Amino acid sequence: MRDFDRDRERDHDDDFDRKRRGGIQKRRVCRFCVDKLPDVDYKDTSMLRNFISERGKILPRRLSGNCATHQRKVAVAVRRARQIAFLPYVVSAG
Partner 1 sequence: MKQVEGKEKLREYETIFIVRADANEEVLQRTNKRVYETVARLNGKIVRFDNLGRKKLAFPVAKNPKGIVMLAGYLSRDGKTVDEIQRNLRMQDDVVRIHSKRIADDVDPESKAAVDLTDDKNKIVDVADEPLRPERDDRGRGRRDEFDAYDDDFVASALAEHGDNESGRGRGDRGGR
Cα 51–48–19 angle (5° rounding)? 25
Closer residue to partner 1, CB minimum distance, 4 or 14? 4
With contact defined as beta carbons under 8 Å apart, do 81 and 87 qualify?
yes
Q: Please, what is the minimum distance in Å from the beta carbon of residue 69 to partner 1?
A: 18
Q: Measured between alpha carbons, how far apart are the two ends of the chain, in Å?
A: 13
Closer residue to partner 1, CB minimum distance, 70 or 82? 82
Closer residue to partner 1, CB minimum distance, 43 or 72? 43
Residues with Cβ within 8 Å of 32's Cβ and at least 6 positions away in sequence, in order, are 40, 66, 67, 70, 73
R_g of the chain, CA atoms, integer Å? 16
Closer residue to partner 1, CB minimum distance, 14 or 54? 54
Binding site for partner 1 (CB under 8 A): 3-4, 6-7, 10, 19-20, 26-29, 31, 34-35, 42-43, 45-47, 49-50, 53-55, 57, 59, 63-65, 80, 82-89, 91, 93
Q: Please, what is the minimum distance in Å from the beta carbon of residue 51 to partner 1?
A: 9
